[in-house]
């Protein structure tokens, strides 16, 4: 008599040894002959774009794989990040982003994704934030900025890369501590911001250093008032940090790295971490970062994930303490 349960059990036992190697071969096959898409959730031209494209060109060579970069700006990086969060976790869609879309924005607004819809892959660098004045501002120092914003509330327009961006949090922190009142001018990304800065469409802006900003500083169209970070920016040793100026709470930096959709195989994440970390350590990429005052980072995927969790908790505390809301 045919015993269906016994047949199924014996079939599974026979099939299992052949299935496991097949799964292993599938993971080893990554990347297959498919293009890897890396979403940078900001408009083209920013610091993550300029350094990231150069890095990804070398990563593609290492993997023997075509990599396309897709700029998807909007809402402080959350539009493009959300697109990656909804993608299949197969290693062919990644985000190269500031960490704020998963460590800061979720504490400020309702998003189309949850931070745990994404997993940490590898960090790329951290970047100081420059606080700069355009030629529209007649004062000379950060103290002058604050004095005018207190004496004439709303007379100083402060441009950032978007609502809920690190620059926005810095603005809120300085307002809360000093009683100064600024007009926040949120942009979708840095490219249009620097264009408008060059023609003095606002008085103050914050942004990460990269080629265009550095050129405007050299031309005298932007003037550095302060930087951020644990120490002074290597290329700006005479410019004090916000912490030195008495604004430790606003002394924030931007961190950039790669994220993948939840469900991406651990073996794929490990390979990406190894390849990208190798390229970040090369002299060419190190020089590209140093020239723009960006500091390379080297962490495992697990260490990067732990850092993201820590940053998220810190941001939640900062927002609650400063009573920041959007």
Structure confidence by residue, pLDDT tens digits, 217-263: 999 999 999 999 999 998 899 999 999 999 998 999 999 999 999 99
Q: Is residue 17 part of a domain?
A: no
CATH number of the domain at 296, please. 3.40.190.150
Structural domains in the chain (count): 2
Q: Domain end: 224, 250, 276, which one? A: 250
What is the band of 9 on the pLDDT scale with cuts at 50, 70, 90?
very low
- All residues at 6 or more sequence positions from 226 whose CB lies less than 8 Å from its CB, including other chains: 130, 131, 142, 239, 240, 241, 242, 245
Residues 81, 220, single domain; the answer is no
**Mean pLDDT, all residues of the chain:** 89
Residues 144, 181, single domain; the answer is yes
Q: Is the dihedral of CA 286, 299, 209, 75 positive or negative?
A: positive
Instruction: Give residue 284's domain range.
Output: 31-127+254-322
Strands 130-134 and 222-226: antiparallel
CATH number of the domain at 175, please. 3.40.190.10
What is the band of 326 on the pLDDT scale with cuts at 50, 70, 90?
low
Q: Domain end: 221, 250, 279, which one? A: 250
Structure confidence by residue, pLDDT tens digits, 117-133: 999 999 999 999 999 99
Residues 123, 134, single domain; the answer is no
Residues 112, 213, single domain; the answer is no
Residues 134, 55, single domain; the answer is no
Q: Domain end: 250, 281, 306, which one? A: 250
Q: Is residue 22 part of a domain?
A: no
Residues 263, 163, single domain; the answer is no
Residues 114, 159, single domain; the answer is no
Residues 225, 168, single domain; the answer is yes
DSSP string, 98-167: ESHHHHTGGGTS--SS-GGGEEEEEEEEEE--EEEEETT----SHHHHHHHHHHSTT-SEEEESSTTSHH
């Amino acid at each position: 008599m045919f015993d269906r349960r016994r047949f199924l059990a014996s079939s599974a036992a026979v099939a299992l040894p052949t299935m496991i190697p097949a799964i292993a071969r599938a993971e080893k096959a990554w990347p297959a002959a498919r293009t890897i898409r890396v979403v940078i959730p900001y408009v083209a031209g920013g610091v993550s774009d300029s350094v990231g494209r150069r890095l990804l060109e070398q990563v593609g060579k290492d993997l023997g794989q075509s990599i396309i970069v897709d700029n998807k700006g909007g809402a402080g990086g959350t539009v493009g990040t959300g697109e990656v969060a909804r993608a299949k976790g197969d290693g062919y869609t990644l985000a190269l982003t500031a960490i704020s879309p998963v460590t800061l924005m979720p504490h400020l607004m309702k998003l189309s994704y949850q931070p745990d819809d994404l997993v940490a892959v590898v960090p790329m660098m951290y970047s100081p934030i420059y606080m700069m004045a355009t030629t529209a501002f007649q004062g000379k120092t950060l103290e002058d900025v604050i004095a005018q914003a207190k004496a004439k509330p709303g007379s100083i327009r402060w441009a950032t890369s978007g609502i809920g961006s690190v620059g926005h949090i810095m603005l809120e922190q300085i307002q809360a501590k000093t009683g100064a009142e600024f007009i926040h001018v949120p942009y979708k990304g840095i490219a249009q911001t620097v264009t408008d800065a060059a023609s003095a469409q606002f008085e103050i802006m914050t942004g990460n250093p990269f080629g265009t900003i550095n050129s405007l500083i050299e031309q005298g169209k932007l003037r550095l008032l302060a930087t951020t970070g644990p120490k002074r920016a290597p290329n700006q040793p005479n410019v004090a940090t916000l912490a030195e100026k008495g604004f430790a709470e606003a002394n924030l930096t931007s961190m950039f790295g790669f994220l993948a959709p939840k469900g991406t195989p651990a073996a794929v994440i490990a390979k990406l971490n190894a390849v990208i970390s190798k390229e970040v350590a090369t002299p060419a990429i190190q020089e590209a970062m140093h020239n723009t005052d960006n500091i390379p980072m080297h962490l495992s995927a697990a260490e990067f994930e732990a850092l993201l969790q820590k940053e998220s908790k810190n941001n939640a505390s900062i927002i609650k303490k400063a009573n920041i809301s959007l």
